[in-house]
Structure 1
Amino acid sequence: MRTPNRDRRRFAIIALCAALIITLAIPSAGALNATYQVLPNGTSYTASVDLAGASKYMFADTGILGENVPITVTNVTLIAENGTPVNFNWTIMWSAPSVITFPKGNYTVTYIAPLHDNHLQGNYLSPYSVNVTMPGEYDVRNPLLAGISTGANVTRFQDNSTQVTWNKTMSFDLRFYDQNREELLYMFAEFMVILAVILLMPFLLMRKPPQN
């Protein structure tokens, strides 16, 4: 028996609505952002991280072996999509990263965390657009002093502040330096050149001139 055209249209409308609901329920890829601001003292940073369909967030860094290393955070705020602050619960365990829990949904979590050895990194469960901004006393353009994971785009502004961005990345790693370290590098390079000249001078003086 052949299905009437009106039944086909009904099924098509139902399928279209179901697909639309599924599409709206799943966050679009690449829509999440993570923004970091290195503070002027270089010992801490502010973070603003988008969360999609989340019910918890863990404050952790990545260790040498890829393990979660707890970090101490302050000024934690959870903001809903409509801009309203949301209450959350803290879970703190000994020697483990602290976790906040909240009703499942889309949020932005902001906090302040410490920095060690001018090193900032992040790992995500889905692609993020990452933006790291540093004040004018820091730089990343010297490859002998800095380290930047692949896919980064570096912009230096007129006020000497620096912005490093990654597009749709699952992780990032950034090491920056200050002017004092750059000056020490140049001093060391000059010292090595002078030392090389001193060591080569006796050899050059002992060379016999070519005979005619």
Structure 2
Amino acid sequence: MRTPDRDRRGPALAALCAALIIALAVPSVGALNASYQVLGNASSYAAQVDLSDASNYMFADTGMLGENVPITVANVTLLADNGTPVDFNWTTRWSAPSVITFPKGNYTVMYIAPLSDNHLQGTFLSPYNVNVTLPDQYDVRNLLLAGLSPGANVTRFPDNSTQVTWNKTMSFDLRFYDQGQEDLLYMFAEFMIILAVILLMPFLLMRKPPQD
């Protein structure tokens, strides 16, 4: 026997209410922000990383096997949500990354770290919106010289500075180059073309014309 409509509305309404309660009980998960500015001659970079519900931060790079590699940092500053500087404790262990600890909460940590081989990378424990800014003497648009992890968006500004962004990523990897490296690439390409012509010339001269 078919259930009357008025009797079926009860379970449907109860299911809808339960779904709303579950949706409200589960907080929305958004990505945090991490910004990196390559400085001067690309020997260092300035970082600004948001922290959510955190009580510590480790200064480390990612090794070839995914291990944490210690990095030397300077000018470390920890800011609360309202922009007020917050004191922190510094822990340094031999051959291990340095760690700062502080009362649990939401913060922004800023620091300067060394950079080598025009290579910058990072790994996170939760999704981050990553923004990397390069000075005008560097570029990433030539894929023969640059390296970008998946999901990268590249913007070149009128002042020739470059911005590379990733949305909601757990890691990023960026390799950039300067004008000198690009010039060397073009010189090498021209040399290879000339060499190919020289090597092919005897073969072309020895070819007999087609006979009628």
Letter in 1 for 2:206: M
Q: Which residue of 1 aligns with 2:116?
A: 116
How many angstroms apart in 2 are the aligned matches of 1:40 and 1:185? 23
Q: Does 1:132 align with 2:132?
A: yes
| 1:189 match: secondary structure | helix
Answer yes or no: is the 8 Å Cα contact 1:52–1:107 preserved in 2.
yes
How many angstroms apart in 1 are the aligned matches of 2:182 and 2:188? 10
CA deviation vs aligned residue, 1:163-201 (integer Å, no higher than 9, x gap): 000111111000000000000000000000000000000
Letter in 2 for 1:169: T
Q: Does 1:99 align with 2:120?
A: no
With normalisation by structure 2, the TM-score equals: 0.87
Q: Which residue of 2 aligns with 1:43?
A: 43
How many angstroms apart in 2 are the aligned matches of 1:96 and 1:151? 31
Q: Which residue of 1 aligns with 2:155?
A: 155
Letter in 2 for 1:195: L
Alignment of 1:22-41 (within 5 A): 28-41=28-41
Q: Which residue of 2 aligns with 1:167?
A: 167
Q: Which residue of 1 aligns with 2:187?
A: 187
Return 5+ residue gaps in structure 2 as ranges: 1-16
How many angstroms apart in 1 are the aligned matches of 2:187 and 2:134? 25
Question: CA offset at residue 30 of structure 1?
Answer: 2.4
Q: Which residue of 2 aligns with 1:5?
A: none
How many angstroms apart in 2 are the aligned matches of 1:95 and 1:202? 61
Answer yes or no: is the 8 Å Cα contact 1:31–1:128 preserved in 2.
yes
CA deviation vs aligned residue, 1:109-135 (integer Å, no higher than 9, x gap): 000001110000111011100000001
How many angstroms apart in 1 are the aligned matches of 2:121 and 2:177? 15
How many angstroms apart in 2 are the aligned matches of 1:30 and 1:150? 20
CA deviation vs aligned residue, 1:145-169 (integer Å, no higher than 9, x gap): 0000111110000000000001111
Answer yes or no: is the 8 Å Cα contact 1:154–1:164 preserved in 2.
yes
| 2:204 match: secondary structure | helix
Q: Which residue of 1 aligns with 2:68?
A: 68
Answer yes or no: is the 8 Å Cα contact 1:29–1:127 preserved in 2.
no
Q: Give identity over the alignment, percent.
A: 80
Q: Which residue of 2 aligns with 1:197?
A: 197
What is the RMSD of the two structures over their aligned residues, measured on CA atoms? 1.8
CA deviation vs aligned residue, 1:5-46 (integer Å, no higher than 9, x gap): xxxxxxx9xxx7xx97x66xx6x5224100000012111000
Q: Which residue of 2 aligns with 1:88?
A: 88
Return 5+ residue gaps in structure 1 as ranges: 1-11
Q: Which residue of 2 aligns with 1:4?
A: none
Answer yes or no: is the 8 Å Cα contact 1:77–1:111 preserved in 2.
yes
Q: Which residue of 2 aligns with 1:7?
A: none
Answer yes or no: is the 8 Å Cα contact 1:30–1:129 preserved in 2.
no
How many angstroms apart in 2 are the aligned matches of 1:132 and 1:167? 12
Q: Which residue of 1 aligns with 2:7?
A: none
How many angstroms apart in 2 are the aligned matches of 1:111 and 1:52? 17
